[in-house]
Structure 1
Amino acid sequence: MRRRTFLGITTGAVAATSTLAGRGASASPARPGSFAPHVVVAADGSGDFAGIQEAVNAAPAGNASAFVIGVRPGTYAGRVVIGADRPLVTIAGLGRRPQDVVIADDRANGTPNPAGGTWGTTGSASVTVDGSGFRAHNLTFANLFDEAAHPEITNRQAVAVLTRADRVAFSRVRFLGNQDTLYVNSPAATTVARAYFRDCHVEGDVDFIFGRATAVFDRCRVHSLHRGTTPNGYVTAPSTDISNPHGFLFTRCALTSDTAPATVFLGRPWHPSQDPDAIGQTVIRDSRIEAHIGSTPWSDFGTWPWREARFAEYRNFGPGASVTPDRPQLTPAEAATQTVPAFLRGTDGWSPDRH
């Protein structure tokens, strides 16, 4: 089998369609023997630690080189925070498939906080990443908040992963939740923070990929759940600052759903605190779009019109990829500037897509 290296971890070759086969699908198995974790987490107590946060805390503060945490198969409950003082942490699942290692919590925005009040959207995150250079491979992050079981909670945003750091990367990772599954953000509105997702699976229903980060989704499956409402949901809610030319880029992805045709929007422009400078960008190119997306795929967000956002498509295909007056398309010249290198390289030449 041909081998390749991603983020310094050697894995089996991954077929281009490996993330398209379903929620439980996985690519070729990881090879934990091809790298040496600094510490191992095992739920049964056979490792160095039984919990993920304990292992993160073991990473040297201000670390100048990668600190690899290997995680044996199991489900690991509880909030995880990778602080800004813990850079270059890698969490790698040691199972054969991403679903073999699950890191999860179950709080929502409106869940009571023991310290008072509620957790809020940011506080609901199962995993929060503030450490630059964070990497994750071959595992699942989930927010297990059960909406049906908590009708008393109306603020149901429940984040699986919140990233606020620069140069974070995920490969063969599943992100599971409902509303607000993946929050890709930055420390401040005008601060650029880059995130790269390859061969990943992201699912949810309302605004389930949102924030102001520069985020590239490369060969990922983006799956809209059936919510049973009209509309059934929104894939993205970018809040990119006007000073940042790069928001969300989806390339060679598959946008899928089990819900009814033309009931899901590709996105709507989020203006946090009514910020007029949050001119969100979502670009979807060279991707398969299924029939859950209709001929008018973008939506206004309150009083903020989608036509003032930076929404565009290019060379998409599939039953939900029609070209209409309500679907702005990049020209070839524009498409040449909306690429993975353009989004990620910056002034430091960061190139996780090449490793």
Structure 2
Amino acid sequence: MDEQSRPVFLPVGDNSARVFGLEGRERACRLAANAGFERVDSIPGGSPALLANMDFAWDPAWLRVMATRPGSVLEFEGHPVLAHVPVGHSRTPVEQAMTGAGGSLEGLERLDSQNAEITYDELRKRERPFVLPLSEETAGDVERAAYDASYKGVTDVLTLYLWRRPAFYLTRWAAEAGLTPNVITAFGGLLCVLAFFYFWFGNYWLGVAAGFIFMVLDTVDGKLARCTGTSSRWGEVLDHGIDLIHPPFWYWAWAHGLGTYGRPLEPVYETMLLATIVIGYVAQRVIEGIFIKRFAMHIHVWRPIDSRFRLVTARRNPNMVLLVLALLAGRPDVGLELVGAWTILSLIFHTVRLAQAEMRAWRGEPVVSWLT
């Protein structure tokens, strides 16, 4: 939507209930600003407006839906929640309807939040966005709903299952403590570097501890940004940059530490193994980039098999599971070999899937996500 047709954001009412350390009105305005809406207290002449009832909390996905639906109102059990008031339509009766002072929603198309369907393309899952009443009593339910809504439905097995709940409590604590996502990212980055040095000197268990805390914080910073409306371009670059760059360095440090640990690899074999892991890792990232450019979606959301394989594909978290299992057996050298083998298998899988998508497109058949 272009800037001229985008409605301004107008909060209606107030709400002192706190969600992730923010009062309802402040959080709603942050979410709107983060979604690209200009927040106003009065509507400029000739401007469409998105009115938001502060008695409710909602998934930011609804902002994008309502921005493209002029003349419509989103309802929860008959109560107006968000209303896109177009130019020429009086907003006063809509505000009155939201505050319970009478008013009317006549002339607006009604959209039931509990029956409408929408896809989370950017979060890679199929789910209806939430709308919930917001009060001191329901604030906890809103926090859980907002956190779950910010979670990617297609990710690795550790992120999706192991530390989903712990990361929720850490996210809530960080928000209440006033920590920003960039602070969490920076602290996690320090732990990432610390893990590298522990691995380098063969202190694998200390490295694993630092690495796993970093991996949890890598989940927390993104969730904190989405749940508090504090996402930023610089934060995304910093977060994704660290995620993209550090894994090969960890594998290099792990290989170097094998000498201190007492399980050194023959130099030529070590070089070949590291080359296999690093080249395979880069090649998979390149394939993902090609798939996005060709088909405007992640390769992991094409078909259900791709989403299931994302749980275990040769990325950092699943690879760390292999390394830790081998370490438990006292064979960190075998762990690195397992990572190499799994990287090759994962690369083959993604190469085949890209080729199959290209063949499908060549035949004139659509290549679309099963989540849409």
Which bracket does the TM-score occupy, shorter chain normalised? Answer: under 0.3
Query: What TM-score, normalized to structure 1?
Result: 0.27
Query: What TM-score, normalized to structure 2?
Result: 0.26
Q: Please state which structure has a larger fraction of its residues in helix.
A: 2
Q: Please state which structure has a larger fraction of its residues in strand.
A: 1
